[in-house]
Structure 1
Amino acid sequence: MHARTTTITADPNRIDAGIADVRDNVMPAVSGIDGYVGLSMLCDRSSGRCIVTTAWQNEQAMAATREAVLRMREHATEEFGAETPEVREWEIAAMHRLHPAGDDSCARVTWSRVDPATIDEVLDVFRTDLIPRMDEMPGFCSLSLMLDRQTGDNSLTAVYADRPSMDASRQRAMYIRDEFRRGLHMSAIDVAEFDLVLHHLRVPELV
């Protein structure tokens, strides 16, 4: 299972127009492409940072869409009043879903880098240690790990039922995150929190 993320820094006054374009134009268009699995969209209205993720059955299906989605991406970028977006392609290495996301759901995304030679160890710790601890968090919905096996870059997304649940988890999640990174010698890149404005990423359980 693979995914493409498109990160846009939007004009905060045009975020609603951008969301509508992704929902009404991009999502119906990509849903008809072979190998499509789903789409999600994260938005931070205060900064304008938005991330659109499309999931694909395999790397070949994702690669085959690169040209097809260019015009859709350009149009969406215009609707958001944004500059050139950042596009990354990932392997969806793990997905754990305790509860489905809802319209009030929020997400915390943690970006890190690790020695590519230790990726199998990262996945083992994710399955045996991180998932059970996250399952105990009130309001926790799902946890996914996307990675680039060549660079060691990875993106960990935890979804919560609503903003109060995510806020309440912040201190505990920071402790777990720091412990996770220290144990695996991971370099911190960034952490950000978002509203989950579109939740149609139908990736099955992968653990």
Structure 2
Amino acid sequence: MYVRTLYATGDPALIDEALDALRAEALGLLTGQPGYRGYGLFADRTVGKIAMGSWWESEQAQRDSDEALKARRAALLAPFAGTVAVDVWEAAVFSPPSPASPGAGFRMVRADIDPARIDALVERFRGTLLPGMGQIDGFVSGTLLVNRAEGRASVGTIFRDSAALAASRGPQAALRAKNAPAAGVTVRSLEEFEVIILDRPADHG
């Protein structure tokens, strides 16, 4: 599975217009593409940030969909986005799809790692980190994305609501503090967002 992520920043006063446009069109555009497997739209209205990720069954499906959709994507974001960054990742480990209502919380951690240690990180995430996060109250799902060529990783976790997200900060920080140094991971950023859309069809895994 491959995931294309987009990270946009802009004027917080204009973010709702962009989110309304994405709510109206994004799923329809994506589900019409071969190989589509899911989509998440996340926002930080206070600071002015939009993050989203679309899931694809193969590298080719990811590339084809990007070519087909990038012009419309840019138009939808144009009223808001002052900066836009697009990345492609391998979905190395992820929870089974679970429902999450709008208003759920999303935490994203970006990190660097020696590419030679990525396989060990994947095993640690699967065997220790994901089960540990699963014990935190309100946990909905967790994902490890990796870019093997560049030695980068991104961990995304979703919690039931904003209160559960807030309550999870300490327990998840403890897991991170214990496991990141052991895995050779250098954490570069820690961010939280509101879940706007989460579409992970069960029959698509």
How do 1:117-156 and structure 2 match up within 5 A?
A: 117-156=116-155
Residue 128 of structure 1 aligns to which amino acid in structure 2? G
Q: Which runs of 5+ in 1 are unaligned?
A: none
In 1, distance between residues paired with 2:165 and 2:101?
14
Give the C-alpha shift of residue 10 in structure 1: 2.6
Q: Superposition pairs for residues 56-67 of structure 1, below 5 Å?
A: 56-67=56-67
Relative distance call for 1:62 and 1:99 in structure 2 (3 A) is closer
2-structure distance, mates of 1:98, 1:201 = 6
CA deviations 1:57-96 (Å, max 9, x no partner) are: 11111011232122112112213x2223100011111111
Gaps of 5+ in 2: none
Shift of 1:36: 1.0
TM-score, normalised with respect to structure 1: 0.93
CA distance in 1, matches of 2:38, 2:68: 16
- 2-structure distance, mates of 1:131, 1:190: 19
Residue 42 of structure 2 corresponds to: 42
| Other-structure match for 1:11 | 11
Contact 1:108 1:159 in 2 (8 A): yes
Contact 1:98–1:140 (Cα < 8 Å) also in 2: no
Equivalent pair of 2:97/2:201 in contact (CA under 8 Å): no
Report the counterpart of residue 77 of structure 2 in structure 1.
77
Q: Distance in 1 between matches of 2:201 and 2:153?
A: 20
1:32 aligns with 32
- 1:138-166, Cα deviation, whole Å (9 max, x unpaired): 11110001110101111101100001111
Moved over 6 A (4+): none
Correspondence for 1:55: 55
Q: 1:2 touches 1:56 (CA, 8 Å); kept in 2? A: yes
Give the SS at the match of 1:192.
Answer: strand
2:7 counterpart SS class = strand
SS at structure 2 position matched to 1:21: helix
Post-superposition CA distance 1:42-71 (Å, at most 9, x none): 101111111121111111110112321221
* Residue matched to 2:102: 103
Return the alpha-carbon distance in structure 2 between the equivalents of residues 171 and 178 of structure 1.
Answer: 10
